[in-house]
Structure 1
């Protein structure tokens, strides 16, 4: 990296890596990522970067991982008995939606963006259907299981624990065939891809949470992201109509690259609940890793309420939802 200007990237809450922007005149920008926590093994990270390289080499729109001078995708450095895992990535071209004030390409309908979101995801899923890992990533149930839920979630939230275990039991009975289950991004959102605002091209990065799961999870997560475009609309029917149109456009893009059975699409409400579970688990993990006492703010309380009361579609069409305070509910003690 000689000659590169290397600048620390400000971490987001709950982030598990240290990352640096690397810029140099007349050279492609790069990102250095250093994993320093003990929550991932060398095999885990190799499974991630090998999957990224596979997607890139087969036409997936992802930020490629760069070989080290030794020809490795991953380098391990040990200092003072602490192990660091270091990777280098091509920096995705373009910018984030938030950096562009959530404005899409000038003169182009926003539906192109929805379509492209689905198309890029569909391409990744289609490639996953032919992927045979060398170093395998973990399976959904390796992390999300009754024992882990019981240890992580406070006993005072007994109803939540019960609902999460019920949800996991339902998932355990689902088919995991080649067309429905494989490697997924597991955090496909506008914070984890760049958009070239000249062409509309989306380039995906941050496969830190990638795992073997149902492809439907990524689609359900994409559904939940769509609510942000219409969350302040007072009329419930208009919110429903928008979400129907939005997700249809996403699916048109998705199906331009891969096939999905209608029977799997019928499980959308179930997998939206699974995204809520992931959000809740992540919130408690962040509190635990930061050494904080568990507490439920308005956003976490809202998610818990939706699961405890079996409220579908993140409550977006339910009386619990408030346009003035989207996805918030009264704080609760633990």
Structure 2
């Protein structure tokens, strides 16, 4: 179900909103209800899983899920305050190959110095385990808990006495390191590529015919994207969901540790950089002066890019495509929203936040309208509701 939720994030909330509340890359097949999955896992599987990962001495607590969650997630903590994160996937929207590709990529990043939460092998030496029960396959992974906490858990207060620019720089530096490592990655198992999902057939089937202009604009942007360079320096494995909900910060050192590679895929590195750009908007979203918002964003992204380019190179010709990739981020969020409608079976609707995204694409308003007359600092990223 698509539901309007207000987070206390100084961040462009919509980008997180629909990711947290919908499922991605849906395939044909039946869907297990989250509560049913929890019931099966807690009553029939958790003991076996605990034995697989030798967690018998750990206290295991389930983390409340976001609506539409794709996984059942637990914290596992022992008397030494050693904490692990247990993730059990129950939906049919991903294959064994998808999961293997994800965990192999994470292990590669960790082994080569990427600041990511590592995957832990089971007692059988596997990064991925699977258990079949009640005609359902459950895929199981165990991760180290990232050092530190999320920024929201610290009420968006950065390290005391340290300028916020350190955080902006570190965000770029952390992402740059991951991208540099991806340029040398040779996987055994392949994740999907951007156009495996974002293509004309999928868009045409997903988006209702009443939104013909939206479809036209989306397909036009995808055609533009198809012409871009896909060399090793511009195209590779990306996180595809890089935001402050998916990394923790060590507030003693400022180090950022990234997790949740559930959506990782082959795409242009600029997609993650566009996500990094949008992450900065929350810090100035209530500023009434558009010129001041623009100046802040220029300074913010310049600092983040200094961190990024300290780890990897990016061509200026690709950086010039930032407005395009912000629009591609928009497409990804709109697709997420309509996938949620499709899965839930609920009547299509378009609240103020989804209407805002659609308006930006239909009217070709760049930079998420942040410097445009459409934007209201009193009601950020909202537009009048519309029927579909």
Q: Which of 342, 346, 364 pairs up with 1:292?
A: 346
Unaligned regions of 5+ residues in structure 1, if any? none
Partner Cα distance (1:287, 1:97) in 2: 30
Find out whether 1:52 has 2:111 as its counterpart. no
Q: Which of 123, 127, 130 pairs up with 1:73?
A: 127
Find out whether 1:112 has 2:148 as its counterpart. no
Is the partner of 1:11 in helix, strand or coil? Answer: coil
Partner Cα distance (2:61, 2:201) in 1: 41
Which residue of the partner structure matches residue 52 of structure 2? none
Which residue of the partner structure matches residue 101 of structure 1? 155
Q: Which of 82, 88, 91 pairs up with 1:37?
A: 91
Find out whether 1:319 has 2:373 as its counterpart. yes
1:288 CA drift (Å): 1.8
Is the partner of 1:161 in helix, strand or coil? Answer: helix
Find out whether 1:278 has 2:323 as its counterpart. no
Which residue of the partner structure matches residue 288 of structure 2? 234
Which residue of the partner structure matches residue 263 of structure 2? 209
Which residue of the partner structure matches residue 80 of structure 2? 26
Find out whether 1:219 has 2:266 as its counterpart. no
Is the partner of 1:150 in helix, strand or coil? Answer: helix
Segment of structure 1 superposing worse, 265-274 or 17-26: 17-26
Find out whether 1:328 has 2:386 as its counterpart. no
Q: Which of 213, 223, 230 pairs up with 1:169?
A: 223
* TM-score, normalising length: structure 2: 0.85
Which residue of the partner structure matches residue 362 of structure 2? 308
Partner Cα distance (1:331, 1:241) in 2: 30
Partner Cα distance (1:13, 1:251) in 2: 34
1:27 CA drift (Å): 5.1
Partner Cα distance (1:232, 1:34) in 2: 39
1:120 CA drift (Å): 0.3
Which residue of the partner structure matches residue 253 of structure 1? 307
Partner Cα distance (1:13, 1:7) in 2: 18
Q: Which of 191, 197, 214 pairs up with 1:137?
A: 191
Unaligned regions of 5+ residues in structure 2, if any? 1-54
Partner Cα distance (1:105, 1:255) in 2: 23
Which contiguous aligned blocks of 4+ residues in structure 1 show a shift greater than 3 angstroms? none
Partner Cα distance (1:239, 1:82) in 2: 50
Which residue of the partner structure matches residue 199 of structure 1? 253
Partner Cα distance (1:45, 1:292) in 2: 29
Find out whether 1:156 has 2:210 as its counterpart. yes
Which residue of the partner structure matches residue 12 of structure 2? none
* Matched residues, number: 334
Which residue of the partner structure matches residue 67 of structure 2? 13
1:235 CA drift (Å): 0.6
Q: Per-residue CA shift, 1:159-206, capped at 9, x if unaligned?
A: 111111101100111110010000000001000000011110100000
Map residues 174-189 of structure 1 onto 2, 5 A cutoff: 174-189=228-243
Map residues 77-88 of structure 1 onto 2, 5 A cutoff: 77-88=131-142
Partner Cα distance (2:368, 2:160) in 1: 32
1:292 CA drift (Å): 1.7
Which residue of the partner structure matches residue 323 of structure 2? 269
